[in-house]
Amino acid sequence: MMLTKLNYSLLCLLLSSPLALATSTAHEPLGKTLLAQGSIQAERSGAKQALKRLSPVYRTDVIRSGKDSSAQFRMIDDAYLDLYENSELRLHEYQFKADGQRGSVIMELISGGLRTISGAIGKQNKSDYQLKTPTATIGIRGTFYEVSLTKEGMYLAAWKGGITIKTHSGACNTALGIGQQANFAFVNRQGQCELLTEAPPIFTRKAPKPKANGTALALASDETTDPTHTVSKQEELPPDNSGGNGGNGGTDAGKPLARQAIIIKGQQVVKGSASQNTEGRPLLKVKGEVLTTRPQQVQQYSQPLSQFDVQWGRWANYQLVSGKEVPHQQGLMWISYQGTPKAILEQRSGSAHYHHLLASSAHSNLGEVSKLKVGMNIDFNSGKIAQGKISAEVPDHTWQGEFDGQLSAGDLTLNFQQGQLINHANQQTSSVNGSISGDFVGNFGQAIVGGFDMHQTNNPANYINGAFLIQQPDGN
């Protein structure tokens, strides 16, 4: 069922502190299920219970995923955990101490694989966090890591931060990740470690097996991706924002700026971050680079609907703050916004259709843009985005595009699939390539802000791009 404004107010009270569940007993949840794709069960007190979206998980649960199945969980300390198919995970302990400042985690991966970004507990002393496996115990401190158990042994990846590996046989006691020789390792059945200079294929090609509707947690912003990470975007977890994401608008390469952003430059639509606006010239940050422009280059600046805290604008030209040359320099469009809290989106269930256009700004080399339409269906239970369509009229032409996507852990990812440009003068139709991105805005995600670009495949000089703000028709 949809969240009403009253439900939202109650949720704010419950979720105002990310550590609201300060301590856990066997009868209190350790976390909740964000997505249960296929066969996901929890064995609890000798009984088996099927898990579905928003199902709680408890201490001593043994969670099992079947073939072609996967599950995602958000734990009480805001850690994210992605369990792969044919996996078995036991939750021994996951709790905060009485002071609410420290805690401990003990989990046991019995088979299969998982990937996780640690929460508050994992950012403390690594001795407070243990993942046990058949051959070793893994400790962490503020990290994004992955483990896969195979017939040959165990593969590990420290995508961000660091992990320690101590095998039960005593043959290996080493570390991976930041400040170490390698980010990847293999541990054989005898507990001997081999450091790997490249990501093993099991992480980059074979596992996990994401579904077409998206079953792996999605990375919210390209700018936080570790340069060693070679896994595709659809297979990534949300970023570790321990460095802070809402501060002073500084340009430190490790921190997003104060606001979220969608940026259209060239033929790409990407997510990044933006500083607080200064008359249409916020700093924009994408993949670690900070962009800016001069006052005379601002072509457009508007705040379409203040209740959604959205701003957008166009620049005729831009430059990098670092002084690095911009190849094939051309203008861009930016969209700056404050997104809906992910904790709110994780509580939503049911499905919703977003298609009521509240505001837009589009430009095409083929003339004035009119009748822009954007719509999509979102199933909050499965995370599937379907029936995504975008169209617009320009003189003697119609642009049309189709897209789909996924919603995982509150992060919205849209994927342009195909499009066409219809020439009404000669009734000819040509193919179109494109890119699209969007995010939820509003107190409970009742609207979506986004940016798009479409260009003719055989003549990329013909293009249309812009920004849109759409809402559920009833606004709920």
Question: Would you call 204 helix, strand, or coil by DSSP?
Answer: helix
Q: How many Cβ atoms sit within 10 Å of the Cβ of residue 22?
A: 17
Contacts of 350 (CB under 8 A, 6+ apart): 1, 2, 379, 380, 381
Q: How far apart (Å, rounded) are the C-alpha atoms in residues 12 and 416?
A: 34
Q: How far apart (Å, rounded) are the C-alpha atoms in residues 275 and 167?
A: 46
120 and 77 Cβ atoms separated by less than 8 Å: yes
According to the model, what pLDDT value does residue 325 have? 73
According to the model, what pLDDT value does residue 23 have? 43
Q: How far apart (Å, rounded) are the C-alpha atoms in residues 63 and 207?
A: 19
According to the model, what pLDDT value does residue 372 have? 97
Question: If you search the block for the tokens 């040959």, which residue do you land on?
Answer: 152
According to the model, what pLDDT value does residue 1 have? 41
CA dihedral (214, 220, 221, 226) positive or negative = negative
According to the model, what pLDDT value does residue 433 have? 97
Q: List average pLDDT for each run of 10 residues in the chain, which is 476 residues long.
A: 46 42 58 89 91 89 92 86 93 70 82 88 71 92 88 92 91 90 93 91 59 37 33 36 35 73 94 89 91 93 89 93 74 94 86 94 96 95 93 97 92 96 94 97 93 96 96 72
* DSSP state letters, 120-158: TGGGS-GGGEEEE-SSEEEEEEEEEEEEEE-SSEEEEEE
Q: Half-sphere exposure of residue 387, counting CA atoms within 13 Å on the CB side? A: 10
According to the model, what pLDDT value does residue 422 have? 97
Question: If you search the block for the tokens 């296929």, which residue do you land on?
Answer: 38
Contacts 24+ apart (CB under 8 A), 109-112: 109/133, 109/147, 109/149, 110/62, 110/134, 111/86, 111/87, 111/149, 112/65, 112/83, 112/84, 112/85, 112/86, 112/87, 112/88, 112/148, 112/149
According to the model, what pLDDT value does residue 263 have? 97
According to the model, what pLDDT value does residue 245 have? 32
Q: How far apart (Å, rounded) are the C-alpha atoms in residues 382 and 296?
A: 47
The 8-class DSSP code of residue 304 comes to S
Q: How far apart (Å, rounded) are the C-alpha atoms in residues 143 and 116?
A: 8
